[in-house]
Amino acid sequence: MRRPLVVGNWKMNGSRSSSIELAGNIAKKFSDGEGRVECAVCPPDVFLADVAGTLAGDGVGLGAQNVSQYEKGAYTGDVSAEMLAEFGCTYVLVGHSERRAYYGESSSQVSAKFVAAQGKGLVPILCVGETLAERQSGKAFEVIAEQLGAVVEAAGLDALAAAVLAYEPVWAIGTGEVASPAQAQEVLAFIRASLGEKADVVRLLYGGSVNADNAAQLFEQKDIDGALVGGASLQAEQFMAICQMAET
């Protein structure tokens, strides 16, 4: 059985005090409702220590939104996998479409980040997904295969299967336009089929405008084991409602 996982990506939002408050509200609700689902949040790096302290012992996991592909040295502004691990992170997002699009991260750079994260014991949450133009021109599967293939080439299939994979169609992120459950399932089934013999144990998430109104239908799909949630993860009630829906 794959344990459901719901991850909140807070992006570049909030202040120190609002992050502590949000983490505290999530932790309180999570420990109120002990369950099978695993929840984690990815705050901005500068709030990791505060959020880690607030979550301590409450069972909510911690992740980061990005990681350097380098181990250490003269890489101004970067944060290494070892640093994230020291601050209590279990997870780190790699290949989020905002990093690919706004910072020009190529699939080979994403793969190097993936390897760096796993090298220090972090679990990468590898994000893959197509743009609207790519979907409309029938290239969605090709794009996703290329994004996965780059990681397999750099790290191997077993390493990919040790990660969490998130299908995040670029056209659904932050747009309010969620993929239909059938669209999400179709791509996630394709992703699972490419994972070799460990396919059945790998957790696959859907991300893109998930909220408390559409999550339940998505979670009914066979290959959707949880969600990567952006906007709706900034409200504790809504985020926890989504987590509860993933229980079933």
Catalytic residues: 96, 168
Residue from the set 4, 95, 208, 226 that interacts with ligand PEP by CB under 6 A: 208
Q: Is 105 in the site for ligand PEP (CB under 6 A)?
A: no
Question: Beta partners for 125?
Answer: 93, 164
For helices 16-32 and 236-246, the axis angle rounded to 10 degrees is: 40
Q: Name the segment binding ligand PEP (CB under 6 A); options: 78-86, 144-152, 184-192, 230-238.
A: 230-238
Q: Output the six-digit token pair for 132.
A: 């609207």
* Contact present, 140 and 183 (Cβ < 8 Å): no
* Burial class of residue 193 in the structure, from the number of CB atoms within 10 Å of its CB (0-12 exposed, 13-18 middle, 19+ buried): exposed
Q: In angstroms, rounded to a whole number, what is the distance separating the alpha carbons of residues 214 and 209?
A: 9
Q: Mark 145-174 with x for binding to ligand PEP (rule: CB under 6 A) and - for no binding.
A: -----------------------x----xx
Q: Which of 67, 229, 242, 243 binds ligand PEP (CB under 6 A)?
A: 229
Amino acid identity, residue 210?
V
CA nearest neighbour of 178 among 248, 231, 239, 235: 231
List Cβ neighbours of 53 (8 Å cut-off, separation of 6 or more): none
> Contacting ligand PEP (CB under 6 A), which of 9, 118, 147, 221?
9
| Rg (the chain; Cα; Å) | 17
Nearer to ligand PEP, 233 or 244 (CB): 233
Q: How far is the CB of 102 from ligand PEP (least distance, A)?
A: 12
Nearer to ligand PEP by Cβ, of 75 and 103: the residue is: 103
Considering only 41, 67, 215, 228, the residue that binds ligand PEP (CB under 6 A) is 228
Structure-token match 């659904």, residue found: 172
Q: How far is the CB of 195 from ligand PEP (least distance, A)?
A: 21
Binding ligand PEP by CB under 6 A: which of 207, 219, 236, 238? 207
Which residue matches tokens 């609207």? 132
Residue among 44, 124, 230, 238 that touches ligand PEP (CB under 6 A): 230
By the rule CB under 6 A, 209 interacts with ligand PEP: yes
Residues forming the site for ligand PEP (CB under 6 A)? 9, 168, 173-174, 207-210, 228-232
